[in-house]
Amino acid sequence: MDKTYGLLKCTIVETAPIRGDTPHFHIHAVADGVHFRIAINIKSQIYPYDLLYYIDYDLKNEFTKKLLELPLGFYPIGPNVKKEYGLDYIRGNLIDIKNMQPLPDKLPGPDNDLNEKIRNITHKSLENQETILYAFGRRWGPIGGKDKYFDFTPSDGIHSIHMNQEINQFKEDDDSSWQDGALLINYLPEDNWHAIFLAFQDYNHGNEDTNNA
């Protein structure tokens, strides 16, 4: 199973409702004819359970201009390949983690939990197939057999759509630097950008996302 960090530039086909003890929001996406499942963790497996989140409803800068130049597809990112596309919550300029707030995965009422926040943003893209999704995370496929959430074969996708580094390891040679996950959505033709940033509250100790396949 591939653990390559990278960027998936794609379009959204559908989403799946959350279920299980470690809830994820699942997106069925397509890039150049290849099907992917994007598994977004919306609840921690250990206390504190609520994830930190921040949504930027007006993200547009030099970085997003670079993203427009890429064709649809998955792009591995590392020290020697497309490193300029890596995300970093600490070293980058896209987010201040002090602005992130905890939010439960599911609550009664409209638009007040993480599941609904992500659903509202992604479902807006279903109204316009020109909308492009940029998912930063780690690839966990392809693996044999049909995907257990969506009807495509082989199962393939991206997970770890959240901050992946540990703050107490803040140093330039840290393997997790410039490998944070996030969702960026470009609504066309108006070229309006939204971005979803997520982190575990216990990021100082790590929290492996394992419920991906």
For residue 42, pLDDT beyond 80: yes
Task: Tell me what pLDDT residue 172 has.
Answer: 44
Task: Tell me what pLDDT residue 44 has.
Answer: 92
Q: Kindly indicate the confidence band of residue 72, based on its pLDDT and cuts at 50, 70 and 90.
A: very high
Instruction: Give CA–CA dist 213/200, Å, rounded.
Output: 20
Q: C-alpha angle 194/196/199, rounded to 5°?
A: 165
Per DSSP, the residues of 158-198 read EE--S--S-GGG-STT-TTTT---EEEEEETTTTEEEEEEE
Q: Are 50 and 142 contacting, i.e. CB atoms less than 8 angstroms apart?
A: no
**Confidence (pTM):** 0.91
Task: Tell me what pLDDT residue 99 has.
Answer: 95
For residue 6, pLDDT beyond 50: yes
Averaged pLDDT, 133-161:
94
Q: Are 28 and 155 contacting, i.e. CB atoms less than 8 angstroms apart?
A: no
Task: Tell me what pLDDT residue 205 has.
Answer: 47
191 or 208, greater pLDDT? 191
Q: Encode pLDDT of 87-136 as tens digits.
A: 999 999 899 999 999 999 999 999 999 999 999 999 888 888 889 999 99
Averaged pLDDT, 72-95:
92
Say which range, 8-17, 76-85, 112-121, 204-213, has the weakest mean pLDDT.
204-213
Q: What is the dihedral of CA 129, 131, 134, 139, to 10 degrees?
A: -10
Instruction: Give CA–CA dist 135/141, Å, rounded.
Output: 15
Q: Which is nearest to 86 in space by CA: 4, 207, 27?
A: 4
Task: Output b/e per residue, 93-109; b: 16+ Cβ within 10 A.
Answer: ebbeeeebeebebeeee
Q: C-alpha angle 34/35/36, rounded to 5°?
A: 125
Place of tokens 């930190």: 52
Averaged pLDDT, 76-82:
89
- What is the chain's Cα-based Rg? 16
